[in-house]
A and B are shown apart, each in its own frame.
Chain A
Amino acid sequence: MMKQLSQRLLGPVTLVLLALTFWLGLWITPPDKIQGNLVRLLYVHPAVAWVALYVSFGTATIASALYLWKRTRSFVVDRIAYCAMEVSVVFIGLTLITGSIWGRPTWGVWWAWDARLTSTAILGVLALGYLALRRANDDPALRARRSAVFAILSAINVPIIHFSVQWWKTLHQGATVFTSTRTLLVHGSMAWTLLISFLGFTLLFFWLLRARYRLEVQRETMTSATLDEALASRRSEGAF
């Protein structure tokens, strides 16, 4: 009962939080002292990046590790890894696009050869490679094993992205919400908008993941049903 209710509420709550983010971000919060109205894009970009790098890629990696561990091996976790990676591609794309839109007026260029930007783009290509790898193998067990190993290998890139702003002198700014001593640097309506944005986009990921998972189950069912129908049809023709 509770599970059904939470599943039904997931979509509407996500939409409300995202609408709230846009309303607060565009109309309620003040312009930044230095960035002016450009700061409004930052109510979207960090939240989208958070989902892309940590939530969705993290889900795909954990699900892949669970598949490789024999005690938890099942096609359910494999399917979750696949669907999370697909959603991750969308969010990595959005991260790069929103970052680029912000970068043009701030840095003067759409793209800079910066450690964080480059490593994020590499993660995007890795995620696309994961999807290509899924299509290259027909055997479900082989496909699941190979893509799980590939997802874990690709996840090595996530800490590189995270620490890139500390390890190298980058154009991309370092931590701007919290300091290294966990002191909050954003206050008032700006902080609330940012928090709601993070919550909204995180829930959006789970909503998309759930929808994509259901679609994948239906696709698999349809494929096997079509195969069964084709076999039955051939049998009725006396082929075998």
Chain B
Amino acid sequence: MIRVALLVAAKDLRIELRSRVLLWQVVPFGVMALLLSGLALGPDHAGNSSAGPGLFYLVTLFVALLMINRSQAIEGTPGTKASIATLGLDPAGVFLGKSLALAVELWVTGLVLLGGAVLVLHTALHGALVALPSILVTLGAMSAAGTLYGAITAGGDGSATLLPVLTLPAFAPLLIAGERSFSSALHGGALWEWWVILAVALAAYLAVGILLYGVLEES
């Protein structure tokens, strides 16, 4: 399972490296969304607002939606699914691999956006560094959930619009826990209870994905 996961992750990341969609489309979109968030707050509030963690996660969420669509689109080209099916790969490994690739992409974008939040929204650098582990776990959970929801909506009528409808409510608890842990890191406060929620969510999505991804890929 791990070998398959690493193979699939390497394949997805290699495609991403060659196409450079992440670099030239997704990251600029994220940075633009972050700037627009600052503009929405207004010049007087953008720099000293406590909304920094919330805006960071909101922008990351939009970026994640683009990436999930992209991750599924890789498999959507004619014949790809059939080719993968004939290889007889372990579906749990495929799920873990796709989640890992998505997580790596989200981590990279998340780091860029975190830097943007420090620069544009004046989020304290020390607090951002303290929050970094929780951000990585949140984005990891989002990628596991996103891979599942991406597979659920793939190929259906209006899948691009259906994905946010299904994913946003599922991401809401992750967003809340992530934002609270980020705020706690910035302003001081209990971190562990949000950590527990994030860790449980990550474990739950990984477990469900390992168990059920094969059902979604059945033909």
Residues of A within 8 A of B (CB): 68, 118-119, 122-123, 125-126, 128-129, 132-133, 135-138, 145-146, 148-150, 152-154, 156-157, 160, 167
A167 to B162, CA, bound (A): 31
* Contacting pair A152 B162 (CB below 8 A): no
A152 to B212, CA, bound (A): 10
- Residues of chain A with a CB closer than 8 A to B172's CB: 118, 122
- The answer to the question of B153 belonging to the interface, with a C-beta cut-off of 8 Å to chain A, is yes
- Residues of chain A with a CB closer than 8 A to B82's CB: none
* Contacting pair B156 A133 (CB below 8 A): yes
Interface residues of B in 176-219 (CB under 8 A from A): 193, 204, 208, 212, 215-216, 218
- Residues of chain A with a CB closer than 8 A to B149's CB: 150, 153
Q: Write 28 A-B pairs (CB below 8 A) sorted by A numbering.
A: A68-B212, A68-B215, A122-B169, A122-B172, A125-B165, A125-B169, A126-B166, A129-B162, A129-B169, A133-B152, A133-B156, A133-B162, A135-B157, A136-B156, A136-B157, A136-B158, A136-B162, A137-B156, A138-B157, A145-B216, A146-B152, A149-B208, A149-B212, A150-B149, A150-B152, A152-B208, A153-B149, A153-B170
A236 to B169, CA, bound (A): 51
A21 to B60, CA, bound (A): 49
* Contacting pair A149 B216 (CB below 8 A): yes
- Residue in B153, B170, B173, B208 whose beta carbon sits within 8 Å of that of A133 in the complex: B153
* Contacting pair B216 A146 (CB below 8 A): yes
- The answer to the question of B159 belonging to the interface, with a C-beta cut-off of 8 Å to chain A, is yes
Look across to chain B and name the residue whose beta carbon is closest to the beta carbon of A146. Answer: B152
The number of chain B residues touching the other chain, given as a range, is 20 to 34
* Contacting pair A137 B157 (CB below 8 A): yes
- Residue in B148, B165, B204, B216 whose beta carbon sits within 8 Å of that of A132 in the complex: B165
- Residues of chain B with a CB closer than 8 A to A150's CB: 149, 152, 166
A138 to B157, CA, bound (A): 9
A156 to B201, CA, bound (A): 9
A133 to B163, CA, bound (A): 9
A119 to B173, CA, bound (A): 8
* Contacting pair B216 A153 (CB below 8 A): no
* Contacting pair B170 A132 (CB below 8 A): no
Look across to chain B and name the residue whose beta carbon is closest to the beta carbon of A124. Answer: B169
* Contacting pair A136 B153 (CB below 8 A): yes
Dominant SS among interface residues on chain A: helix
Chain A nearest CB: distance from B208 CB in Å?
A: 6
A197 to B51, CA, bound (A): 44
A125 to B173, CA, bound (A): 13
* Contacting pair A126 B158 (CB below 8 A): no
The 7 A-B pairs with the shortest beta carbon distances in the complex, nearest first, are: A136-B156, A125-B169, A129-B166, A122-B169, A136-B157, A137-B156, A126-B169
Look across to chain B and name the residue whose beta carbon is closest to the beta carbon of A123. Answer: B169
A152 to B207, CA, bound (A): 12
A152 to B166, CA, bound (A): 13
A136 to B212, CA, bound (A): 20
- Residues of chain B with a CB closer than 8 A to A122's CB: 169, 172-173
* Interface hub of B148, B152, B165, B193 (most chain A Cβ within 10 A): B152
* Contacting pair B152 A149 (CB below 8 A): yes
- Residues of chain B with a CB closer than 8 A to A119's CB: 173
A153 to B170, CA, bound (A): 8
Look across to chain A and name the residue whose beta carbon is closest to the beta carbon of B200. Answer: A156
A228 to B125, CA, bound (A): 67
- Residues of chain A with a CB closer than 8 A to B212's CB: 68, 149, 152
- Residues of chain A with a CB closer than 8 A to B152's CB: 133, 146, 149-150
A157 to B171, CA, bound (A): 11
- Residues of chain A with a CB closer than 8 A to B162's CB: 129, 132-133, 136
Look across to chain B and name the residue whose beta carbon is closest to the beta carbon of A68. Answer: B215
Answer whether A149 and B215 are a contact pair too, CB < 8 Å, given A129-B166, A132-B165, A136-B162: yes
* Contacting pair A126 B170 (CB below 8 A): yes
* Contacting pair A153 B208 (CB below 8 A): yes
* Contacting pair A145 B169 (CB below 8 A): no
- Residue in B173, B204, B218 whose beta carbon sits within 8 Å of that of A145 in the complex: B218
A167 to B194, CA, bound (A): 11
* Interface hub of A125, A148, A152, A167 (most chain B Cβ within 10 A): A125
